[in-house]
Chains A and B, each alone.
Chain A
Amino acid sequence: MTRKDSLPVTDAHAVKVTGVSRIFSIKKKPPVTALESVDLTVAPGEFVSLIGPSGCGKSTLLRLIADLDQPTAGTIEVFGKTARKARIDQDYGIAFQQAGLLPWRTVRANIELPLELHKVGTAERRSRSTELLELVGLGDFGDSYPDQLSGGMQQRVAIARALAESPNLLLMDEPFGALDEMTRERMQNELIRICAETRAAVVFVTHSIPEAVFLSDRVVVMSPRPGRIRSVLPIRLGGPDDRSEHIREDAAFFDGVSAVRESLHGTPDTGNARGVDTR
């Protein structure tokens, strides 16, 4: 598959969130401020992680960018368009917190779903799904059904599906949360490689500080109730073509982990914040 030609040649932001608030009003209950005056820009090709305690509005922010929800105040632009226009133009791929596979479709057919919906020919679909199955290490499982797969394998299928149309923007909500540590690190390495290849921008929600540090150009630390951005930490380990495994051992990596942890807790190293693990 070739990359979308719709990518503006201008240096427009991949994502531009300006003064966004989202207040959930439920009948007979006090309204919940999930997000309050959030500003965030993501450059094309940039990898940005959102980290913060459970309930601080990470998923909400991602859903707003994906046009699955509308902000109470503020504006959201994706590649210089409204979020709605960007969704209709299929400018992004998304992997949800739950895999959300269709149980009546085989693994391969699940990966091909977006291609099928957008009228890509059978042969091209087939070769693309074969490529993606290999990529996520499920080459032998194309004809299996999702309920025959483990949770981690299902999540990998969902990631392959998100990558199917080689989007310029990837939205990922804790995609590796269900994976074991080894698969997780392998998927992280793969994701770095994919991003380098496709130069896709990524907004990545995670609970894992090392994961955020390893993957990101910038880490956005959020605080709960109301959900706000506490700090944005530039990380970016390694050179442009040198983001391999070994940086996990670098001093810079541990410095990054400490910096994020300190920001999360407000003070230097006072143990775990709620909902954030330090794996």
Chain B
Amino acid sequence: MRLHFTSARMVVAPLLLGIAVLALWQLAVVALEIKPFVLPGPAAIADQFFGNIDNVWTASAVTGWNALVGLVLGAIAGVLFATLAAVWPVLDELSAPIVAALAVIPIVALAPVLYTMYGAGAETARQIIAAIAVFIPVYLNSLRGFRQVRPVHRELMHVYAASGIQTARNVTLPSSLPFIFTGLRIASSLAVISALIAEYFGGPVGGLGKSITSAASSSNYSLAWAYVLGSILVGLVFYSITLGLEKFVSRHRPTP
């Protein structure tokens, strides 16, 4: 019963708050006669969102796909590199400055360079930007995970004369999976943000980023906000799925 009570509180309370905020927002926009270019009301945005649902959906699919490709490529590269760095620590030491540099520079700053490299008509540049943004947290968290293997587990596999592959499959990977998935969860939001922001710097039209800018430049502010709403939803979907995966792989681990 208590579980029901708390989950009801966890769902109902934010929902009520959200509705209250939306109502106040709408009230403020109407009562204070706020101009749409300053802030359109939620009703207007919802109107545009559902009125242009096909366009929002197509744009979301374009940006979402770029983010997904980036997420998958970046994650594979991140786990792969972390594996190599765990096997040869020298690699970790050598690459540490590059990783640190990549972690602090805003990756989207590379967008103009990549557009000239891969041509402004292709989505490649955006996918690469998402992949680089994803690589960093996945790499760092995976490497940390690989180092979390408890000595007693490693010794156990030694005692059983287990092969390298058996050790990796039965001990190293399960120990580090929660860490890898924490990295993926952080990376999933970054992938969407990077893919979207990269659109502001050029490339083909059709994605959420381009749609926001073009709606805004034609003074259709409510439509621009409808695309923003679409971006929020895409980000939420990415985040929820990776959060769910993280929870799933961590289910039998006491939270550290």
Residues of A within 8 A of B (CB): 66-68, 87-88, 90, 94, 96, 98, 100, 102-104, 113-114, 117-118, 145, 147
User: Which chain B residues numbered 138 to 171 have a C-beta less than 8 Å away from chain A?
Assistant: 150, 152-153, 155-162, 166, 170-171
Smallest distance from the beta carbon of A155 to chain B beta carbons, Å?
Answer: 13
In the complex, chain A residues whose CB is within 8 Å of the CB of B254: 103, 147
Q: A100-B156, A104-B174 are in contact. Are A147 and B161 (CB under 8 A)?
A: no
CA–CA, A233 to B209, complex, Å? 82
Q: What's the tally of chain B residues with a CB closer than 8 Å to chain A?
A: 18
In the complex, chain A residues whose CB is within 8 Å of the CB of B162: 117
Tally of A-B Cβ pairs under 8 angstroms: 44
Q: A68-B155, A103-B252, A103-B253 are in contact. Are A113 and B170 (CB under 8 A)?
A: yes
A100 with B150: CB separation less than 8 A: yes
In the complex, chain B residues whose CB is within 8 Å of the CB of A113: 160, 170
CA–CA, A117 to B160, complex, Å? 8
A117 with B170: CB separation less than 8 A: yes
B252 with A96: CB separation less than 8 A: no
**Closest chain B residue to A89, Cβ basis:** B161
CA–CA, A100 to B254, complex, Å? 14
CA–CA, A90 to B157, complex, Å? 12
A118 with B160: CB separation less than 8 A: yes
CA–CA, A96 to B160, complex, Å? 13
User: Which chain B residues numbered 216 to 256 have a C-beta less than 8 Å away from chain A?
Assistant: 252-254
CA–CA, A104 to B171, complex, Å? 9
In the complex, chain B residues whose CB is within 8 Å of the CB of A68: 155, 158-159
A104 with B156: CB separation less than 8 A: no
Q: What 8 A-B pairs have minimum CB-CB distances, sorted nearest first? A: A100-B152, A104-B174, A88-B161, A145-B252, A104-B252, A117-B160, A117-B162, A147-B254
